[in-house]
Chain A
Amino acid sequence: MKTNALRVVLALALTILPAWGLSAQTKVTVGVLHLGSVKDAGYNQASHDAVLVLKKALPEVTVLEAENVPESADAERVIEQMINKGATIIFAHSFGYQDPVLNVAKKYPNVTFLHAGGYKDAPNFGTYWGNNFEGMYLAGIAAGAASKTGKLGFIIGFPIPNILASVNAFELGAKTVNPKVTTTLTIDNSFNDSVKEAASVNALADAGVDAIACFVDSPITVVKTAEAKGIKSVGIWSASLKNFAPKGWLTGIAFNWGDVYVQEVKDVVAKTWKPSHIVGGIESPIVTLADYGPSVTEATKALIAKAKADIVSGKLAVFTGPLKDNTGKEALAAGKTGGADLLNITNWLVEGVVGQVK
């Protein structure tokens, strides 16, 4: 939309102008693109929190941030403006920025581009991502143990493989404490339609669901509506989400990009940076479980801690065959195990998940 371009320019002006005067004394300028508002207690705030870590760790670095940058040619213009203001490192923190970033990367070989979740390659283009399926498996244990009705809910934006793997992992985790537990899936066809998210929580709660997880950009509405409905919730992206559901909060999958941002900037400054695809899971500091809510028992916490240790040591694979999908077909043969290798090919829902993806 055109209006986005205007806001981008205004936001840029506000962030860049004050930094102008300083640029003479500082050596490194970093540009960060956010898809939405950095106060969403969600996807964008997690990236903004990393910027705060970066500023604290490397105070000599100047950071230019732009919010609400559309995943289009607008992103290219924002990046070029940042480069014109002296940025030599760009963090583009949304999947849809991949092609715009690569377009700009060709023009500016001396600038280093870091992209969230990308898979393409270029000499000055690297990516970073965190796998959340293991975290969702652990959160599933918390939800399965907390549920009295044996019905869990999961609200997602779009049924893409990575997200479906998380839904499956959540159900499998819950099954370890309650073999009969089901997870009802609702697909909103949008990552940011709060009104639909609220309606989904209400509908799931009315159907008997008493613990809910989600995969949307800003989980505030889901967590708040669940709290108002008196059901439990599992969050994602930012640990600060907990404040929106003091009673019903179970745990959440928190993304901590701070160390990644700091390391990448250090490598570029030291001229040791090489393009790579950094992926971290529950074994890395990138993905952690957020603090537990009041209703998670010590016994459940111990179960989760053990499962986490087993996943990290390689003793436990989140996807262990035989697994059937929810239409009764074999999805993973007996004796086979799967983990991150399934993230790009999962187009099925595991037995126990109620819903369909086609």
Chain B
Amino acid sequence: MSTGFLEGWLAGTITASTPIFYAALGETVVEKAGLINLGVEGTMLIGASSSFAVASLTGSPVAGLAVGMTAGALFNLLLAPLVLWRRANQLACGLALMFFGAGLSAFYGQGFVGAQVNGFDVVPIPFLQDIPFFGTILFQQDVLVYFMVPAAVAVWWLLARTRWGLHLRAVGEDRMVAFAAGSRPSLLRIQALVIGGLLAGVGGAHLSLAIAHSWTEGLTAGRGFIAVALVIFASWSPLRVLPGALLFGGALALQIQMQARGASVSPFLLDMLPYVMTLAVLVLLRKSSRGRMPEGLKEVFESPKGA
């Protein structure tokens, strides 16, 4: 049952990219609405621990996923009163949310450390899984992996092809103009936060129910921040989130795969790869992607326009 290096690496890449993909897809919607949530890490942790808890209590990973998504959405909603009505600094609020999520998930996840759970196991797709090389990589995965492409397309369609998406993007560009044109900026932004939370919840659930099959404090280990960087890398396009996630997942998986294959490269150097890549990507893409950044988002980083 041993497989080649490339096959193993690519299969590992897909697994590693799934949680950051869902989280980044959700954050794309949030940022398209002109908000930024740096607390994705915390939202993922809430999703990971609550989905694990419910899956271990009910025996159903689907019930776990549903609760993890709901918890993620509710958790993201904590941002709404702060940044929509109180106009608090979004960056500070996001970081506070991250720490809060880390603490809260650890606190109520405590009782479920070491619990047995039925997670999302690998579901091979008949016939397709027998295709040489690609079968192992693409068609011997868990269900959340199979839903990546449909999810990306669905979010793209919502944003680009529906009236709701048009309003949302308008709010993200200039909420005052959108308001004058009849949109309801606060409502749309709340909806964006809910979608962002639902998807970050999926990402968290994938970590605890599909990859680790266990819950430990701080399970995300920085993947939420990679997801935020990924949104910029994908220049706010839901369709580009997928290749971007695969690239970062590839870097995460490479370190382990090289060691498992006995490659003579320092494991410490390899461990830095995903983060060096994040830095490189942010530096390289900053100028070119600036044009695609929702106008409203620039407000967060620059001097605020009047309320």
Residues of A at the B interface (CB closer than 8 Å) are 1-4, 6-7, 10, 36-37, 39-41, 45, 67-68, 149, 153, 184-190, 192-200, 202-209, 218, 220-221, 224-225, 228, 230, 244, 354-356, 358
Given A37-B113, A68-B106, A1 and B121 contact (CB-CB distance below 8 Å): no
Are A3 and B99 in contact (CB-based, < 8 A)? yes
Contact B267 A200 (CB under 8 A): no
Q: Assuming A40-B113, A205-B1, is B213 touching A198 (CB within 8 A)?
A: yes
For B268, the chain A residues whose CB sits under 8 A away are 187, 189, 358
Do B217 and A195 touch (CB < 8 A)? no
Q: Note all chain A residues with C-beta closer than 8 A to B2.
A: 149, 205-208
B71 within 8 A of A: no
Known: A199-B253, A206-B7. Is A6-B103 also a contact (CB below 8 A)?
yes
Inter-chain CA distance A354–B261, complex, in Å, is: 8
User: Residue B246 at the A interface, CB < 8 A?
Assistant: no
Give me the interface of B with A, judged by CB distance under 8 Å: 1-3, 5, 7-8, 11-12, 15-16, 99-100, 102-103, 106-107, 110-111, 113-116, 121, 207, 211-214, 216-221, 223, 252-253, 256-257, 259-262, 264, 266-268, 271
- Given known A-B contacts A195-B219, A197-B212, A356-B267, A3 and B259 have beta carbons under 8 A apart: no
Contact indicator A192/B218 (Cβ below 8 Å):
yes
Determine whether the beta carbon of A221 is less than 8 Å from that of B107: no
Q: Chain B contacts of A356 at CB under 8 A?
A: 264, 266-267
| Pairs A–B under 8 Å by Cβ, sample size 6 | A68-B106, A192-B217, A198-B212, A199-B211, A200-B260, A202-B15
Contact B216 A199 (CB under 8 A): no
Contact status B259-A194, CB under 8 Å: no
Determine which of A149, A189, A218, A355 lies in contact with B114 in the assembled complex, contact meaning CB atoms within 8 Å. Answer: A218
Q: Which of B107, B213, B267 contacts A7 (CB 8 A)?
A: B107
A39 touches B8 (CB 8 A): no
B260 A207 Cβ-Cβ under 8 A: yes
Kindly state the separation between the CA atoms of A205 and B257 in the bound complex, as whole angstroms: 11
The smallest beta-carbon distance between B246 and chain A, in angstroms, is: 15
Cα separation A1 to B41 with both chains bound (whole Å): 15
B15 touches A199 (CB 8 A): yes
A184 touches B260 (CB 8 A): yes
Chain A residues near B261 (CB, 8 Å)? 203, 207
A198 cross-chain contacts in B, Cβ below 8 A: 211-213
B256–A196 touching, CB < 8 Å? yes
Distance in Å: Cβ of B46 to nearest Cβ of chain A: 13
Which of B5, B110, B216 has most A Cβ within 10 Å?
B216
Seed contacts A199-B12, A200-B260, A225-B213; 14 additional CB < 8 Å A-B pairs: A1-B99, A3-B102, A6-B103, A7-B103, A36-B216, A39-B114, A149-B2, A186-B256, A195-B207, A199-B15, A224-B213, A355-B259, A355-B262, A358-B268
Measured in the bound complex, the distance between the Cα atoms of B214 and A230 in whole Å is 18
User: Cβ of A153 and Cβ of B260 under 8 Å apart?
Assistant: yes
Q: Least Cβ distance of B276 to chain A in Å? A: 15
A196 to chain B, nearest CB (A): 7
Beyond A3-B102, A207-B2, A228-B121, whether A218 also contacts B216 by CB under 8 A is: yes
Chain A min CB distance to B141 (Å)? 12
Q: Is the CB of B219 within 8 A of A203?
A: no
Complex CA–CA separation, A224 to B116 (angstroms): 10
Q: Are A202 and B12 in contact (CB under 8 A)?
A: yes
Chain B residues contacting A206 (CB-CB under 8 Å) are 2-3, 7-8, 11-12, 260
CB of B213 within 8 A of CB of A195, answer no
Evaluate whether A228 and B213 lie within 8 angstroms (CB atoms) in the complex, with A186-B256, A186-B260, A195-B207 already known: yes
